[in-house]
Amino acid sequence: MPSAEPLRSGAVSAGHRPADRRPSANPWKVDLRELGRRAGSLHELNRTAPAPADWRVELIGVPEGAEIGLRLRLESVMEGVLVSGELDVPVVGSCARCLEPIEDRLSLDVQELYAYEGSTTEATSEEDEVRRVEGDFLDLQPLVRDAVVLSLPLAPVCTEDCAGLCVDCGERLDDLPPDHSHEVLDPRWAALSQKFASAPQSAPPDQTRTPEEN
């Protein structure tokens, strides 16, 4: 029986497909060589990428290292690559009313044109007005970061009808009975109230009478 022919260097064995080619294994970078520059060419992208540390506002944000789901469509057009699709983003934070922990997921739509170097769009746009294709790659991270951070609420709530905290005791109002209340004392009478509370109690009249009076 003839021996099997060894695989040549760089050859791909049957039934195996190469993984997405990413520079330095960076999941935020997309290799465009497979897509090509022919207008109308399409490529579907489904992957996850870890969130950096600064994707947040004061009370809520994406945990560092959390996996961001990318379901994107890349379309080659005359001026560059049109990226569109959905993002699945985990977020954690605190309720602005009661400070309870919040865990949620955002589903965001994105659409952005990455301009080719030397294209009319690239030549007629300011540096911060259009995203650019970098050689054979495009970087998704700035696009996703802007979409996520701009969608984060400045005052997140655990529920739409969260009642917040009791201003007197600081307890969460939704966890307290409906008749929860505190005695409110007019501050003008506070000193007088404390004086009466600290004064010794006098004995009842019938206990202060002398034997002769009886």
pLDDT digits (tens, 9 = 90+) for 94-115: 999 999 999 999 999 999 999 8
> In this structure, which amino acid lies at residue 62?
V
Question: Is residue 200, in this structure, part of any structural domain at all?
Answer: no
> What is the residue range of 140's domain?
23-151
Question: Is residue 213, in this structure, part of any structural domain at all?
Answer: no
> In this structure, which amino acid lies at residue 124?
T
Extract the residue ranges of the chain whose pLDDT is less than 50.
1-24, 214
Question: Is residue 14, in this structure, part of any structural domain at all?
Answer: no
Question: Is residue 43, in this structure, part of any structural domain at all?
Answer: yes
Question: Is residue 64, in this structure, part of any structural domain at all?
Answer: yes
Cβ atoms of residues 105 and 89 within 8 Å? yes
Question: Is residue 176, in this structure, part of any structural domain at all?
Answer: no
Long-range contacts of 185-194 (CB under 8 A, 24+ apart): none
- Report pLDDT for 203: 55
pTM of the model: 0.69
What are the helix (H) ranges across the chain? 120-123, 141-151, 187-198
Q: How many domains does the chain have?
A: 1
